[in-house]
């Protein structure tokens, strides 16, 4: 991969592995890079937030484009005692919104390798002891059209593929938790996510999550929607990318800010700041420092 020296920034959307290759080539040519690399975006539902509302919003996001959205909820933290209720809400919502997953309201997985990868991801989780819950158990999906049902996965561990790689599909792993400290510690111990979604009506708790969890963008009480706000900068951090675009920040990213200084006919530098230095030079320097504030 060759990148000519001195061009405007290279922009790349893709996996972290490809992003590293692009950055290595750009480094050899001293070319600035903006990377949007996806990752595992977590959501957390706080005990104060209505579980039914959380399920409505998270399932809407997780089923959008069959989960194939780079900032989609990749895994979910739920208060310990609420998992069964959340699963019941999820089953009801899928049945109400998608009575026929083979129909036009629910899309297909983009290609056969992606479909096979999702099947293998579920099989790996199940083989390692996870509980896999099909949210549309009564429907027969058309595998030839790569229709893949939404699933919730319980009892996940970091050894599973589902918790190591970006899912990019309608599969939602759930991790129970007791305290916000657990959520913050877990997310910060892993690669920085492209997005983070705290669901809480407690403003102090929301601010704590925003402050203590480092991510690309944040959506409080909603998922995905922040990307559609084109006056907000969008971009990742660390393994989820670097740089920003959208709106004004996008203009800056894809522009080279080139400063130009023009000297007047009479140069104050030549008149005042030439050696030997005396009182006039000191006065001029003191005056410039005062102007800087």
Q: In this structure, what CATH number is given to the domain that contains residue 88?
A: 3.40.309.10
Q: Check whether residue 255 and residue 265 sit in a common domain.
A: no
Q: Check whether residue 205 and residue 79 sit in a common domain.
A: yes
Which position has the higher pLDDT, 197 or 35?
197
Angle at 38 (CA atoms; ends 50, 8), nearest 5 degrees: 135
pLDDT digits (tens, 9 = 90+) for 186-234: 999 999 999 999 999 999 999 999 999 999 999 999 999 998 888 888 8
Catalytic annotation present for 36: yes
Confidence of residue 293 (pLDDT cuts 50, 70, 90): low
Q: What is the mean pLDDT of residues 258-264?
A: 89
Q: Check whether residue 26 and residue 80 sit in a common domain.
A: no
pLDDT number for residue 254 = 85
Percent of the chain with pLDDT over 90: 64
Q: Check whether residue 124 and residue 245 sit in a common domain.
A: no
Catalytic hit among 31, 63, 70, 249: 70
The number of distinct structural domains making up the chain is: 3
Q: Check whether residue 9 and residue 61 sit in a common domain.
A: no
Q: Check whether residue 25 and residue 49 sit in a common domain.
A: no
Q: Check whether residue 66 and residue 198 sit in a common domain.
A: yes
d(CA 55, CA 53): 5
Residue 49's contacts (CB-CB under 8 Å, 6 or more residues apart) are 199, 200, 201, 221
For 105, the domain range is 41-228
Q: Check whether residue 107 and residue 223 sit in a common domain.
A: yes
Mean confidence (pLDDT) of the chain? 91
Catalytic annotation present for 63: no
Taking a C-beta distance cutoff of 8 angstroms, is the pair 218, 194 a contact? no
The helix/strand/coil state of 54 is helix
At residue 134, does pLDDT exceed 80? yes
Q: What is the mean pLDDT of residues 33-46?
A: 90
Q: What is the mean pLDDT of residues 163-186?
A: 97
131 by Cβ neighbours in 10 Å (0-12 / 13-18 / 19+) ranks as middle
Measured from the Cβ of residue 169, the count of other Cβ atoms closer than 10 Å reads 25
d(CA 20, CA 36): 11
Q: Check whether residue 217 and residue 251 sit in a common domain.
A: no
Q: Check whether residue 136 and residue 251 sit in a common domain.
A: no
Catalytic hit among 31, 36, 63, 249: 36
At residue 244, does pLDDT exceed 50? yes
Q: Check whether residue 71 and residue 156 sit in a common domain.
A: yes
Q: Check whether residue 161 and residue 223 sit in a common domain.
A: yes
Q: 218 pairs with which residues across the strands?
A: 196
């Amino acid at each position: 991969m060759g990148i000519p020296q001195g061009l405007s920034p290279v922009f790349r959307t893709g996996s972290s592995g490809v992003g590293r290759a692009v950055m290595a080539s750009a480094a050899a040519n001293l070319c600035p890079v903006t990377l949007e690399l996806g990752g595992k975006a977590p959501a957390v539902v706080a005990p104060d937030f209505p579980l039914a509302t959380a399920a409505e919003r998270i399932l809407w996001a997780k089923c959008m484009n069959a989960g194939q959205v780079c900032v989609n909820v990749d895994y979910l933290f739920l208060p310990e005692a609420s998992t069964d209720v959340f699963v019941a809400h999820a089953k009801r919502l899928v049945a109400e919104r998608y009575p026929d997953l083979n129909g036009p309201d629910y899309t297909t997985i983009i290609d056969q390798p992606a479909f096979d990868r999702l099947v293998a991801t579920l099989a790996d989780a199940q083989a390692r002891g996870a509980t896999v819950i099909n949210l549309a158990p009564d429907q027969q999906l058309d595998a030839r059209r790569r229709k893949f049902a939404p699933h919730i996965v319980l009892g996940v561990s970091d050894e599973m593929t589902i918790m190591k790689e970006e899912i990019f599909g309608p599969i939602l792993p759930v991790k129970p938790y007791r305290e916000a400290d657990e959520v913050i510690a877990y997310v910060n111990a892993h690669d920085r996510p492209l997005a983070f979604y705290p669901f809480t009506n407690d403003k102090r708790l929301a601010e704590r999550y925003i402050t203590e969890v480092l991510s690309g963008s944040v959506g409080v009480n909603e998922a995905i929607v922040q990307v559609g706000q084109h006056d907000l900068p969008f971009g990742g951090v660390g393994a989820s990318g670097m740089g920003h675009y959208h709106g004004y920040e996008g203009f800056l990213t894809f522009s080279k800010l080139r400063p130009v200084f023009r000297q007047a006919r009479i140069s104050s530098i030549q008149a005042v700041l030439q050696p030997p230095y005396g009182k006039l030079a000191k006065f001029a320097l003191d005056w410039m420092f005062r102007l800087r504030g």
